[in-house]
Amino acid sequence: QSALTQPASVSEYPGQSITISCTGTASDVGGYNYVSWYQQHPGKAPKLMIYDVTKRPSGVSNRFSASKSGNTASLTISGLQAEDEADYYCSSYTISDTSNWVFGGGTKLTVL
Amino acid sequence: QITLKESGPTLVKPTQTLTLTCTFSGFSLTTTGVGVGWIRQPPGKALEWLGIIYWNGDNRYSTSLKSRLTITMDTSKNQVVLTVTNVDPLDTGTYFCAHRPAPYYTLDYWGQGTLVTVSS
């Protein structure tokens, strides 16, 4: 099972915007509109932020948006706040694994 | 309100079988399309998908672990059970269960996780 590729870390100043990428293949990210993004603070369970590539669950700030182009999905966080500092994981439906699910390797976001 | 909670041993010896239970409320695992997934996270590392059981009893397991995993459900008790055979120290980590809403390929509610250490 190959994880989706994410940058290990990103950093930006409060109030700025940042984009986290998630690169897969045509067997997962590129082939299906089933990309999700999760936020995880230390010691906590992941929280769903985006599903079906671009949809935000109720209660998630509209500072979080997402998109997809080809085999790469992206999560953008605008107006960065200290509370956004966390690990972010993408996931996708896949036909390359018998589970049909795959996660990215995670990205540590630091708000400077 | 959907809630899930994992329970089981905190320490398991190598070669033994690990059994974890996910007890949930706020939804029924008999509802078409619904599923409960298992995910684990080694200390300081990324999330790793393990497998899922769907409302109809269908299972999907990670390719790399499927020979060692079994997921079952007891709808009368609102529980899903994960079994991992022949554990190794590399199986150490926090194990999460999560709700898969129909008809989406996502996990919208997660349990708090339970830390399992494999050591002699």
Q: How many CB atoms lie within 10 A of CB A39?
A: 22
CB-based contact B72:B84 (threshold 8 Å): no
Residue numbers of chain A with a pLDDT score lower than 70: 1-2
Structure tokens at B104: 């989406």
Looking at residue A1, its pLDDT comes to: 47
| Coil vs helix vs strand at B97 | strand
Yes or no, beta carbons of A47 and B110 under 8 Å apart: yes
Looking at residue A3, its pLDDT comes to: 84
Starting at the edge strand found earlier in the chain, the sheet holding B79-84 runs B3-7, B18-25, B79-84, B69-74
Chain A residues near residue B24 by CB distance under 8 angstroms: none
Q: How far apart are CA A5 and CA A15, in angstroms?
A: 26
Mean pLDDT of the residues in chain A: 96
CB-based contact A104:A50 (threshold 8 Å): no
Q: Name the burial class of residue B21, with classes exposed (0-12), middle (13-18) and buried (19+) by CB atoms within 10 angstroms of its CB.
A: middle
How many angstroms separate the CA of residue A26 from the nearest CA in chain B?
A: 17
Looking at residue B75, its pLDDT comes to: 92
Looking at residue A2, its pLDDT comes to: 56
Q: What is the pLDDT of residues B56-106, one digit of tens each?
A: 999 999 999 999 999 999 999 999 999 999 999 999 999 999 999 999 999
Yes or no, beta carbons of A48 and B52 under 8 Å apart: no
Yes or no, beta carbons of A1 and B105 under 8 Å apart: no
Looking at residue B53, its pLDDT comes to: 97
Q: What does the pLDDT average to over B39-57?
A: 96
How many angstroms separate the CA of residue B104 from the nearest CA in chain A?
A: 8
- Give me the residue from A47, A103, A105 closest to B49, CB to CB: A103
